[in-house]
Amino acid sequence: MSVKYETRGGVAILTLHNPPVNGLGLATRRGLSESLAQALDDASVKAIVVAGNTRAFSGGADISEFNTPQAGMEPTLPTVIAAFERSAKPVVAAIEGLALGGGLELALGMHHRVADKRAQIGLPEVKLGLLPGAGGTQRFPRAVGLEAAVNMIVSGTPVPAGKLAATRLFDRVVESDVLQAAIDVANEAAGSGALPKVRDWKIEHPDVEGFLGSSRAAVAAASAHYPAPLKCLDAIEAAVKQPFDKGIEVEREAFAALIRTTESKALRHGFFGERAAGKIADIGPEVALREVKQVGVIGAGTMGGGITMNFLNAGIPVTLLETRQDALDRGLATIRKNYENSAKKGKLTAEQVEQRMGLITPTLDYAGLKQADLIVEAVFEEYGVKQSVFTHLDAVAKPGAILASNTSTLDVDRIAAFTGRPQDVLGMHFFSPANVMKLLEVVRGKATAKDVLATVMALARKIGKTAVVSGVCDGFIGNRMIEQYSRQAGFLLDEGALPQQVDKAMEKFGFAMGPFRMGDLAGNDIGWAIRKRRYVEKPHMTYSKTADLVCELGRYGQKTGAGWYDYKPGDRTAYPSQVVDELIEKHSKDLGIVRRAISDEEIVERLVYALVNEGAYLLEEGIAAKASDIDIVYLAGYGFPIWRGGPMFYADTVGLGNVLAAMRRYAKGHEGAAWEPAPLLVRLAETGQSFNP
């Protein structure tokens, strides 16, 4: 039963019950319609209250229903809302927790609204590439005024009800017992006979044209790749200038068009993909989690310090271990400096800085880690060093403590074997800066126990990370793919492109940063070290040698003031470098390659399809459990454009047949390792399937 019906005195109370967030799917919409009809039929009922629970009044339309027949089946949300608005008995919304999207639109169709002051009120549809499609663009500006409505609808950001207390949206904003307050309002309304409708209210603004004009200019500049924000403004403009029913038509048409766009599909894929990443096929709710109350971090360098901050921010005490006092002091000073910088920007109070620093226990002694429930090491990437750390941990850590390695390249199974408890070992691959980057690859070893994995996935969420499980392989999901992307970028230089052209093409495609600017930021010496290893381990793998030549000049990137680009002191702008351009051209000549003009299209296809192809290998090998996991790694950690949904989703939108055909075209001259289409890609392409179901 998705709506519970009861009466208290002359008030019918309709309580939404559709966990987790009272999404307004077909069954719930039916439940609402039927309960409303029941209340209208019951002569003893004088007024109606619609409530949710403490978590949510309603999180909005059921997004998982979009693009299914249920979405369009009656009663649709607009039908339900219209029925409440038409009700001959007053209806009051009792809002606690969340009132988002369709949930807020439902409340806007009622005659009165009462909210807990902490309730989150918002129209977040734009974040899914949509606009509020059940009257929100028409009723919300009438209730909160034009400017607040534009800001909230275009940004999609919710605000606490308390912030809107002065608007007409709420009859009452209360500190406790919303339901009782709503019942009181219902009884008063039953006596007054008035049935106020938001649709009848006027939108007052001293300069509609001026305000909408400047909003339009700002939105157009900020949302080049997203059609939804401007459509929101169109619909709001209709709310101001046209009769209500006409405005509703404008809104509905825009909603119907937006829901079909690739951008919206990609954003919804990202929403569900992020949540699906936390679900692991063979781990159900019966797996009990281990308790993590205390964490140990080994290594107070850049990585260890950043990792420590994640736990401190979530209120979890950390024992930070270093081998030398000066390194420990430096690490602590850096953490403090980061917090003080946040305080300067007004993000933290001085007191919060001290609170967080107070959660750190510095130590030089492994015995200090005895009480830790989870220990993460962030020491030098070398098996000998890891072996020493894990042998120590095996000796001191309490039974059941989870032992995690932050390795980005080493074999987690081999590391686990340094201990007598491989079931307690896994990888936690944070990305730098670890206190900022959302992505966390959680590496499941052969022996990793289910409860260890489940505990770390839950903890990742608690510390605000987007966690994706990866199997053990060199580079895990993200870096193994990026290596193929970088290889193609290198070949393009040999064949005729320059770094700035490649970067511009990728940035135009939507990447936050092209591969060469990215290399300069991360440090080109890192890739160099990996390639040197590859030359020995995988001699059949071909690489452009240009990157090595750049490194041989000491041009490691921003940190050395020169890399693929030139830099000026105190200025992170990447200036094209004549030295590098000449080096590239000379190298082509040395290879006997006649440089050719390369189109931006070729650059994008070769780099993105290299990701897609390696992603297909990862899926086939079971390193990634599902295509959406790969997409989430790229969206959360590698600056892949969100509106394209990640590499695998993007390949699906291009059509895998087209991807395969392009790869085969580009393979000419690169026969062998560089462009070997993954068997899974070939199979799916040839049978007309896609990566994401």
Kindly list the catalytic residues: 105, 125
Integer Cα distance of 39 and 33 in angstroms: 10
Tokens standing for residue 66:
């979009």
Identified binder of ligand 3H9 from the candidate list 26, 48, 49, 63, rule CB under 6 A: 63
Task: Please identify which residue in 52, 90, 102, 645 interacts with ligand 3H9, judged by CB under 6 A.
Answer: 102
Is the torsion defined by CA of 471, 474, 476, 477 positive or negative?
negative
Q: Which of residues 245-304 bind ligand 3H9 (CB under 6 A)?
A: 275
Considering the complex, what minimum distance in angstroms separates the CB of residue 276 from ligand 3H9? 7
Minimum CB distance to ligand 3H9 smaller for 98 or for 312:
98
| Ordered strands of the 425-430 beta sheet | 360-363, 318-321, 295-298, 374-377, 402-405, 425-430, 439-443, 466-470
Binding mask 5-24 for ligand 3H9 (x = CB under 6 A): ---------------xx-x-
Min dist. Cβ of residue 93 to ligand 3H9 (A): 15
Q: Which residue is nearest to ligand 3H9 (CB)?
A: 101
**Residue selected from 3, 11, 39, 77 as contacting ligand 3H9 according to rule CB under 6 A:** 77
Buried b (16+ CB within 10 A) or exposed e, 203-216: beeeeeeeebeebb
Site residues for ligand 3H9, 115-154, by CB under 6 A, read 124-125, 128, 132-134, 136
- Whole-number Å distance between alpha carbons of 267 and 649: 11
Q: Does 64 bind ligand 3H9 (CB under 6 A)?
A: yes
Is 457 a binding residue for ligand 3H9 by CB under 6 A? The answer is: no
Q: Which two tokens stand for residue 672?
A: 């062998």
Chain position carrying tokens 């510390």: 463
CB of 276 or CB of 447, closer to ligand 3H9: 276
Q: Interacting stretch for ligand 3H9, rule CB under 6 A, among 61-69, 189-197, 440-448, 578-586?
A: 61-69
Q: Does 206 bind ligand 3H9 (CB under 6 A)?
A: no
Among 100, 403, 412, 611, binds ligand 3H9 (CB under 6 A): 100
The site that binds ligand 3H9 (CB under 6 A) totals a number of residues, namely: 23
Query: To the nearest whole angstrom, how small is the minimum distance from the Cβ of residue 631 to ligand 3H9?
Result: 16
59 counts as binding ligand 3H9 under rule CB under 6 A: yes
Whole-number Cα distances in Å, 119 to 14, 54, 170: 19, 9, 12
436 class by beta-carbon count within 10 Å (0-12 exposed, 13-18 middle, 19+ buried): exposed
Q: Which strand (E) or helix (H) includes residue 122?
A: strand 120-122
Residue 49 near residue 7, CB atoms below 8 Å: no
Full DSSP string of 319-334:
EEE-SSHHHHHHHHHH
Cα–Cα distance for residue pair 56/97, rounded to 1 Å: 4
Q: What is the DSSP letter of 424?
A: G
Rounded to a whole number of angstroms, the minimum distance from the CB of residue 249 to ligand 3H9 is: 14
Least spacing, CB of residue 274 vs ligand 3H9, in Å: 8
- Smallest distance, ligand 3H9 to C-beta of residue 443, A: 22
- Minimum CB separation of residue 454 from ligand 3H9 in Å reads 15
Q: Does 101 sit near ligand 3H9 (CB under 6 A)?
A: yes
Give the shortest CB-693-to-ligand 3H9 separation in angstroms: 16
The answer to whether residues 477 and 441 touch, using CB atoms and an 8 Å cutoff, is yes
- Cα–Cα distance measured from residue 375 to residue 380, given in angstroms and rounded to the nearest whole number: 16
Closest CA to 132 of 198, 202, 71, 61: 61
Q: Applying CB under 6 A, does 49 fall inside the site for ligand 3H9?
A: no
Only segment of 58-66, 147-155, 214-222, 370-378 that touches ligand 3H9 (CB under 6 A): 58-66
Question: How far is 116 from 21, CA to CA, in rounded Å?
Answer: 17
Distance of alpha carbon 63 from alpha carbon 59, whole angstroms: 10
Q: Is 53 a binder of ligand 3H9 (CB under 6 A)? A: no
Site string for ligand 3H9, 660-689 (x = CB under 6 A): ------------------------------
**Chain contacts with ligand 3H9 (rule: CB under 6 A):** 20-21, 23, 59-64, 77, 98, 100-102, 105, 124-125, 128, 132-134, 136, 275
